[in-house]
Structure 1
């Protein structure tokens, strides 16, 4: 078997980080092994340590990529309208939806990684930076942080109660409470 080019190696590495971002949010960092990540992108586990110094390093990159993707999405919402209140409402409509509740692997990294980061402080700085940037998109200062905390808490509670009527009640209640743009 021949060696891969540097471009292929970079592409394989990026694919592994993207897969880890999704898998870690879906199942939790502790429940996803290096072999799971590598298998999901068609690579052998043996090549992991050629690409990453440790699983902790991969987790940190996955958290960073999750927030990068989310901030890109928020930027696109802002570009679609000159009205930040309309962009905020568009975020609420998707964020507090049944689809987002049921698809943590493709969902918000603040919600998807919250439990893992609380238990493992290694990627905490990357997570904190991402939270601050998301909150700043919503509103300046404490208003943005409070609004983001409300959204994340609502989604986490809705996920924890999925399958019962209270889950959709939570999504609706948080949407109603958060509808005016925080100032």
Structure 2
């Protein structure tokens, strides 16, 4: 790859990374091309050298944002050697995850957009959901119920972070994260049912 091609690829990657962070904090409808290009140190006119359309950029950035979560989830699960599921739950429902959406799991902010999105967007979202379900199910010793429990766990994780970001009362937000964390860990250890 020549110098100019390598430079073009690096520029494209920079725009995608910036957009990936922006859509996790602002959603997919808000960031404009001019603002994204400015943040990347480029002019608006250079956009079409890298992307076919704004939708093309958003879809590619969403796929990156979604995929970045896998490595974080795997690291979180490995942190707690005695209880990988508890480690994952603790990391996902951490206040830092709630407070820094730009680097957080993209399932939370992109769910609604994926529901309204085109086929490529839906497929990228589904791929990430399936990846997380496999990861979570792999942490379970009871293979018979692993997939169902993974669905319950992932739904609770995503829902808790979504709600904790959406409510105005900081104490209530903290309570949501802490309560769901405690209940998921109790359920996983067999000391509670999800409705108890």
Q: TM-score, normalised by structure 1?
A: 0.87
Match of 1:114 in 2: 111
Cα contact 1:159–1:167 (8 A) shared by 2 = yes
**Closer, same or farther: CA 48–175 of 1 in aligned 2, 3 Å:** same
The RMSD of aligned alpha carbons is 2.1
1:59 aligns with 2:58: yes
SS of the residue 2:29 aligns to? helix
Q: Deviations over 1:15-58 (max 9, x none)?
A: 11111110011011111111222122111121111111122222
**Inter-partner Cα distance in structure 2 for 1:97 and 1:153:** 13
**Inter-partner Cα distance in structure 1 for 2:183 and 2:100:** 23
Alignment: residue pair count? 178
Match of 2:28 in 1: 29
**Inter-partner Cα distance in structure 2 for 1:96 and 1:76:** 14
Cα contact 1:105–1:112 (8 A) shared by 2 = no
Alignment gaps of 5+ in structure 1: none
2:122 aligned to 121, 124, 128, which one? 124
Match of 2:163 in 1: 157
Alignment gaps of 5+ in structure 2: 138-145, 191-196
Match of 1:96 in 2: 93
SS of the residue 2:37 aligns to? helix
**Inter-partner Cα distance in structure 1 for 2:102 and 2:68:** 12
Q: In terms of Rg, which structure is larger? A: 2
Q: TM-score, normalised by structure 2?
A: 0.81
